[in-house]
Structure 1
Amino acid sequence: MAGNPRNGRPYRRLCAQQRALGLPCWRCGQRIDYSLTGAAAQRSRWAFTLDHAIPLSLGGDLLDPTNARSAHRRCNSARGNRITQPLARASRRW
């Protein structure tokens, strides 16, 4: 039995590479708090998580860097396993 592939070194390396880019959330466009790590990150909605543009349940590759996106924990959870585009941002404040 192989165990959970998300606990393996290749997956952790991909997460570290994506985190090092310091990109905003690909869903909402807002800044991600990359300083949160460990237990604090697991409790915060605004912490970094690795999201997959094509969900794993729909055939996306777990370790493909072109499928990896930076997202808030909140945005990643709200999206679920749907294939969606990033949220539209208003051009001006109303």
Structure 2
Amino acid sequence: MMVWSGVLLLVMGLLFFLAGSLGLLRFPDVFSRLHAVTKADTLGLGFIVLGLALLEPNWQRFLLMLLIWGLVMLSGTISCQLLGQYGRDQQADYKEPAE
């Protein structure tokens, strides 16, 4: 039962990464794209870590995976904040070309 639950969580994580990648390619503006990528990072990697935790008997490796997940969440939050501010500033400076 634990193996099937772990595999299910891994598949859910992969689906979140797939949805985030499609959102990155399909959404029209920078803010929608950032939203898609951040959700894929947070939820996708979270499901993968939980799935691997069910498949991994060593609790020290599970703690290491949790640490990596936390660092990815922290770096993703900071980088998306900076990219969002840059996108907002570029949008404010944009002027329509004269005809």
| TM-score where L is the length of structure 1 | 0.27
Highest CA radius of gyration, 1 or 2?
2
Q: Which has the higher helix share?
A: 2
